Structure 1
């Protein structure tokens, strides 16, 4: 497996990976109108690509096989967020094809995108996700840094990590605008 920047020819494969990773199996008591064919994360990714907050250098894919001919099995992206008007990063979605989950693909993508962000001299990354998973990448509840989540109900699931030795600055976090339409 290799991790590299997403290319124009990867977009359809990335959409397929994100759709597969976030498709929720139908439950027996689901009403047909509550089950969507396309997960919201796919629409979010499409809208992020068209947003000024899209950062091509921080849209990464994991590929099986050769770097130019391999099959996309995972994707992660960071987009431009704001912390009281200061530029920071919002991470997500992170997606791994279901048949490759729990095989280190997500971890490789996380390490790569955090390293790429730090190499760009970014100061902070924030995300909404499972604390038990993201803790291994140095993320902690954002509230520990005085960072206020877009939705206070997110609690410890809204996490942050300072980058490049920067001291975290308190403030209210905002994702790129497409997140606000979810």
Structure 2
């Protein structure tokens, strides 16, 4: 049976290997390692999909900020989401996103930002961030830079810049 649980120390190496395999490079796995050591890491929002003690997937939500002309809003970035190649297209990624977003709501964050495949993330309610007047501190094509409100009307009258920590620049 597949379980979605917060990562523990014993899964860190498996997570690193999974992400390296899923993205075909080590940079994204190194990003997770850096986030894990940062003040933006929220242990309860680094989730693994485990079956028979094998890590099949991982999702990480970490804190970022949105700077508006009048305020700074703490928010979350979803990055990365990875599923073991031999287990893709079996709903594991969707389960990770659904459980992860539910946990994010428990932490009372107003929104989640993701850079990813629109056809995939739109089914969870993500929309193009530019539509709401949000821009990124990093360069992403508009169609892959998306946001999801976790609280009703969280994006009402919010325009500004999503500020990613510097460690995101190298990925």
Q: What TM-score do the two structures reach when normalised by structure 2?
A: 0.91
Task: Choose from 82, 88, 98 the match for 1:111.
Answer: 98
The answer to whether the 8 A contact 2:111-2:154 is kept is no
Say whether 1:171 aligns with 2:160.
yes
Partner secondary structure for residue 93 of structure 2: helix
Larger radius of gyration: 1
Say whether 1:6 aligns with 2:29.
no
Q: Which residue of 1 aligns with 2:86?
A: 99
Q: Cα 1:19–1:132, aligned 2, differ >3 Å: closer, same or farther? A: same
CA drift at 1:113: 0.8
Partner secondary structure for residue 118 of structure 1: helix
Q: Cα 1:97–1:137, aligned 2, differ >3 Å: closer, same or farther? A: same
Q: Which residue of 1 aligns with 2:19?
A: 18
Instruction: Give the 5 Å matches for 1:90-169.
Output: 90-168=77-155, 169=158
Partner secondary structure for residue 93 of structure 1: strand
The answer to whether the 8 A contact 2:76-2:112 is kept is yes
Q: Which residue of 2 aligns with 1:75?
A: 58
Partner secondary structure for residue 141 of structure 2: helix
The answer to whether the 8 A contact 1:80-1:90 is kept is yes
Partner secondary structure for residue 59 of structure 1: strand
Structure 1, unpaired ranges of 5+: 24-37
Structure 2, unpaired ranges of 5+: none
Tell me how large the CA RMSD over aligned residues is.
Answer: 1.3
CA drift at 1:105: 0.6
User: CA offsets, 1:158-179, max 9 Å, x none?
Assistant: 0000102242122100123321
